[in-house]
Structure 1
């Protein structure tokens, strides 16, 4: 299999591990910076160049598209799709996952548990908006924040109103959610590959913080997700159309609740905590799917 990995940095742990896993399995693999890919779009077909050389013949592409380049990165990924390249995470799925409001709406519509969430635009509606949510504490999140950035906890109603006013002054898009106290600053990252949870870790927020992200100083340990937690994680990835996803859950009195579905989940924390070769699981899944697609195309031509 000829594999491309869309990533801006070959030295990043996740990118490096995917390259190692592909080479261990004797696949041809190359890392492509999506910002150096450029496209020709025409009714006669689709072409793409990379640093002056035409890109062609890739059987599969694994996107590692960061939040700062979502729009361009997803356009490059879409071009690959239009050129017949398989991807476990299609461009539209990446866009759905990156938009917290959209993904929450889609998950809730399928009956998947979430913390109660409110969203509004007009400052005149703030008081009523918060009354729809209930009393504080409140969690306020930027709509496209990652790794715990842009997530704030407010313990008083006046603080919630103040933060919302400040964010609106910056023209930022944000959500306000209930704070689930029984989670006790912990969440569960379920790593879904090809419709199954291949690894899971519990992350605990550092003292004095409520964010459990490892980039914020959280601690992680490998755990066995319950059947209910695995089911919710798998369903969440499926609803958004992702073959590879990091699904973040919290344990609550009413069952597992989805906090976020990440289309480019990091591998370092989950592999360190669990000892599972997650990169290998991803490459094996991509290779299997490509093999099936190639066989189907060959049968159609025959």
Structure 2
């Protein structure tokens, strides 16, 4: 019996062309693909999750790869589907990498260097003041943000005093802060699929910002990783249980070591503009994803 998988891939930034390539390569292996399954338009009833008339839960695998359009409803259905069918990434890996604190905590438990961090209750302003005295500078991070959104650099007690009432208004139950790492305002974004190194590029913060995220004004440039960086990225991806991961790594100038800033479960493919620049890892990434889907759907 032919295998059939469901897929929801972002279409902007060349994603539509990537999808066509994946579908074509899967077809060559007798795997059919139902595309554009946006769980926002799905309904759960009587033990099935339906998208139009398709019973998603009866497919052989679901591949969800769209960071920009996730809603709580979709994530809730993602979790339910993963109880009954294979997913890429698994719901557990997805949920873990969406949460900065849980990711950093687990990485540290497994000996992977990350910036020093602290999670404390929102009423514990005293603890936060102790931390800023000790660290000098720190970064407030929403535990569930992406693309650098909501990151706030706290450089003094005065900044902290200004920020606390604002954060309290947002009805947050806890604060996650990281020690600000002294670095050269560039990072490495390393793509890993199925435990294999796919490719790497660098990102550089703009002159007015310290964040390297492209959505925060950062720019992409060609960059070769060394073995230490590749091995660190592979280890981080493995610890997080991700089939696909983009691992953000910076060099800590004070500790003189590479540290993992973030593990992203939905790292973008190289855009057409980036490919023109010389970023040529898309085909390798597609091949590894197709191999992974083939393996996970073998009856």
Query: Same-fold call, TM > 0.5?
Result: yes
Q: Distance in 1 between matches of 2:295 and 2:170?
A: 48
Contact 2:121 2:175 in 1 (8 A): no
Query: Alpha carbons of 1:175 and 1:17: their partners in 2 closer, same or farther (altered >3 Å)?
Result: farther
Q: Deviations over 1:197-244 (max 9, x none)?
A: 211111110011101111122111121211111111111111111010
Q: Give the corresponding residue for 1:59.
A: 60
Query: Alpha carbons of 1:235 and 1:241: their partners in 2 closer, same or farther (altered >3 Å)?
Result: same
TM-score (norm 1): 0.84
Q: Distance in 2 between matches of 1:207 and 1:245?
A: 28
Q: Give the corresponding residue for 2:279.
A: 275
Q: Distance in 1 between matches of 2:79 and 2:114?
A: 30
Q: Give the corresponding residue for 1:16.
A: 16
- Classify the secondary structure of the residue corresponding to 1:149: coil
Contact 2:115 2:260 in 1 (8 A): yes
- Classify the secondary structure of the residue corresponding to 2:166: helix
Q: Distance in 1 between matches of 2:177 and 2:230?
A: 26
Q: Distance in 2 between matches of 1:41 and 1:247?
A: 39
- Classify the secondary structure of the residue corresponding to 2:266: coil
Which 10-residue stretch deviates more, 12-21 or 30-39? 12-21
TM-score (norm 2): 0.85
**Larger relative helix fraction:** 1
Matched, 1:131 2:135: no
Query: Alpha carbons of 1:240 and 1:67: their partners in 2 closer, same or farther (altered >3 Å)?
Result: farther
Which 10-residue stretch deviates more, 69-78 or 151-160? 69-78
Please list every run of 5 or more consecutive structure 2 residues that lacks an aligned counterpart in the other structure. Answer: none
Please list every run of 5 or more consecutive structure 1 residues that lacks an aligned counterpart in the other structure. Answer: 298-302
Contact 1:136 1:157 in 2 (8 A): no
Q: Distance in 2 between matches of 1:75 and 1:65?
A: 15
Q: Give the corresponding residue for 1:300.
A: none
Q: Distance in 1 between matches of 2:136 and 2:71?
A: 33
Matched, 1:73 2:77: no
5 Å-filtered alignment, 1:190-229, equals: 190-229=190-229
1:190: Cα distance to partner?
0.7
5 Å-filtered alignment, 1:6-155, equals: 6-7=8-9, 11-13=11-13, 15-25=15-25, 27=27, 28-29=32-33, 30-40=35-45, 42=47, 47-55=48-56, 58-66=59-67, 69=70, 71-84=72-85, 86-123=86-123, 125-132=124-131, 134-155=134-155
Query: Alpha carbons of 1:257 and 1:161: their partners in 2 closer, same or farther (altered >3 Å)?
Result: farther
Contact 2:61 2:297 in 1 (8 A): no
Q: Give the corresponding residue for 2:180.
A: 179
**Please, what is the CA RMSD of the aligned residues?**
2.5
